[in-house]
Amino acid sequence: MRVTNVDTVTQAFEESDKDQPWKELGLKEDEYQSIKDILGRRPTSSELAMYSVMWSEHCSYKSSKIYLRQFGEKVTPEMKKDLMVGMGENAGVVDVGEGLAVTFKVESHNHPSYIEPFQGAATGVGGIVRDILTMGARPVAVMDQLRFGAPESADTARVVHGVTAGISFYGNCLGLPNIGGETVFDKVYQGNPLVNALAVGVMKHEDLKLAKATNPGDLVILFGARTGAEGMAGVSVLASETFDSTGPTKRPAVQVGDPFAEKVLIECCLELFYAGVVAGIQDLGGAGISCATSELASNGGKGMRVQLQDVLLRDDSLTPEEILMSESQERMMGIVPKESLEAFEAIVNKWEVEYSVLGEVIDEDRLYINWGDKEIVNVPPRTVAHDGPVYNRPVAYPSYQDALNANSSSSLKRAENPAELAAQLLAILSSPNQADKSWVTAQYDKYVMGNTALAMPDDAGMVRVSEETGLGITIATDANGKYCQLDPQQGVKLALAEAYRNVAVTGAKPKAVTNCLNFGSPENPEVMWQFKEATQGLADGCLELGIPVTGGNVSFYNQTGDVAIYPTPVVGVLGVIDDVARRIPSGWQDEGNNIYLLGETRDELDGSAWAETIHSHLGGKPPIVDLKKEEQLAQLLHGAAIQGLIESAHDISEGGVAVAIAESCLRFNVGARIWLGDLIDRDNIDMTAALFSESQARVLVAVGREDDVKFQALCEARGVPCVRIGVTDKESEALEIQGIGTMQLNEVREGWAKALPELFG
């Protein structure tokens, strides 16, 4: 039974002063007024639904837009050389050579994953995969960046179990390898876990697709899953207006995903692309049909005429407003030339994908949507999709910032004897943030598709994209919320530096950047200051490293009451490697390799894992970042990889040299003898700093004896400081650190491996 009492454009003219629930839909009074100014009348309730959702922070980027522009401005022609599609599209596209292009993006699904962790995280994976597919690419891998509350809290277990199970369910069913990511625990994320999902896809240059409707007469086709009442608790205020008291009033706020439907949709879309029957395509995610119709029309500079009653529904009682806003998953909107309709139908029928023709592209700057014979939407598409409000929100230097920065870790008590140092090392290694993440990553399929060259626990994920030549891509993502709380501008550069370094240690060449900026409320000037600092830092950092930002996502309002999360800008770096067979592993494997520490070590323990784990302390200034040195280091590693001089390389970050050494041992169960005396003398630091300092631009490498001379010469030529700190000892099955003692690897492994299973197993 179709809804009949709808608010029409005619009524909007006739009942011009009708009260409308703009406030309940999240619009501000001046925003409601500008809608009226644009239309020259009050909006219909369907138009109100569209504007309210498209002008929301999530869809319009109204608070972040003025800052995100820098990513497009702070670029050189050299940086743009390989960038085929930049900011603003569904995902950025980078030329990786051999006629292939790669598209990648991270998106947040934070709030849904707190309400319903399993489905929230699952549909987060589904959504980002469709973004990648929309560009014309075959999705080839996913990664997830997770931040949870305090590990011992009961609610954390609920979220952790749901989120990891949801990710593994959706990703494993799709048959996409999950090649890495992050798992971090901190009480600031208690009421606001962060679930960011990254996907990467590969295509031939000529298969690139854009979300555009440029050709009048082309058909607008919705295909994939049917539309139901999902993810639209917000719109129920409109529904309750339309329904009488007996009708459904409470619509679910969450979406349920169906990965098998998505898998079919992927294959169906790829076949449609290869057959050349779609002129433009857009996935349906947030804001559903409102977003897809207005963006396709606006991007193409054209209009559209749509019959909303032709949308295939799961439930006939849906109102037009609900249909426009529904976030049902696994749907796509295609723009299909009339002469290709038959070919289109043959392909979607073959895949048993349902579709319906909703209307056509018109040569007019107007989006007309009808409900039967009643016109319910008549708007300029650009005003919905792109010309939403833009805010320059007030910024204020946080009142707590100076005190936080003054409270440095220098007064914290340091270990006084070898036994205490050893105990601290084991404590840090078995703390949830440094411990083995296998409990999480073992739930994911890392090797499906057969192209995974590196995955967790390596520093970065690597997949082969050409089976003929071995061409591959590497992706690493990083964010350190503690560093960003201490200094957002520096903190985001540190995230960039670490992701860049993590790509470099695999032997790949860093090439492009994506991001997912997780912050508190933009209406809090202190949060806005953090955002301003972070975006500036990231844009400047990318310019300095010469790698472009290809796209990204902003997630605001991550806070509980007045308390915001730490600013958590996740930075993803994509690298390219000519042949994955030349990748550098992260752990030690051979007997008698010399272990070198590259880079300089300072006494930098503010915001470190040591300060957190041993002293529950956060304060001071984050480590110094020097991107020129990061670049030098990356070039050195790339050169050494090509010459095959390095047996392994491992990034040094949280937990310092101590954690890097332990992880290098545990990766393949190969022991080592370590002496830090030369390092301590050269850099004038103490044992605590040598072990736990988080100084940047440092990498631990293992070099075979036969390559030793060549390698040292290379370091000297490139001006990278290099000190030998030990030698691998395969037989010993122990880690001996001079001045601290000898630890059996199985003892080291025990605490590291059991931390997460004990909390969540």
Partner 1 sequence: MPKIIVEIMPKQDLLDPQGKAVANALHRSGHNEITNVRIGKRIELHFDRAITQGDLDAAKEIASSFLSNDVIEDVVAITKED
Residues designated as active site: 58, 109
* CB closer to partner 1 out of 55 and 114: 114
Nearest approach, Cβ of 229 to partner 1 (angstroms)?
A: 4
CA distance 478 to 490: 14
Angle at 119 between CA 191 and CA 201, to 5 degrees: 105
Q: DSSP 3-state assignment of 203?
A: strand
* CB closer to partner 1 out of 258 and 663: 258
Nearest approach, Cβ of 352 to partner 1 (angstroms)?
A: 8
Tokens of residue 659, six digits: 């954690």
Partners of 200 in the beta sheet? 104, 141
Neighbours of 164 (CB within 10 A): 25
CA distance 462 to 470: 11
Strands 563-564 and 559-560: antiparallel
Residue 663, Cβ density class (10 Å: 0-12 exposed, 13-18 middle, ≥19 buried): buried
CA distance 47 to 384: 9
Nearest approach, Cβ of 259 to partner 1 (angstroms)?
A: 8
* CB closer to partner 1 out of 90 and 119: 119
Nearest approach, Cβ of 330 to partner 1 (angstroms)?
A: 9
CA distance 512 to 566: 25
Q: Please provide the DSSP assignment of 378-407 as one string.
A: EE-HHHHHT------------TTHHHHHHS
Residues contributing to the site for partner 1 (CB under 8 A):
115-116, 119, 225, 228-230, 248, 251-258, 260-261, 314-315, 328-329, 352
* CB closer to partner 1 out of 331 and 501: 331
Tokens of residue 200, six digits: 């990467």
Sign of CA dihedral 556, 559, 561, 564: negative
* CB closer to partner 1 out of 110 and 145: 110
CA 32 remoteness from chain centre: 32
Which one, of 369, 334, 288, 383, lies nearest residue 36 by Cα?
A: 383
* CB closer to partner 1 out of 53 and 564: 53
CA distance 591 to 734: 13
CA distance 90 to 102: 13
Partners of 332 in the beta sheet? 223, 283
* CB closer to partner 1 out of 258 and 647: 258
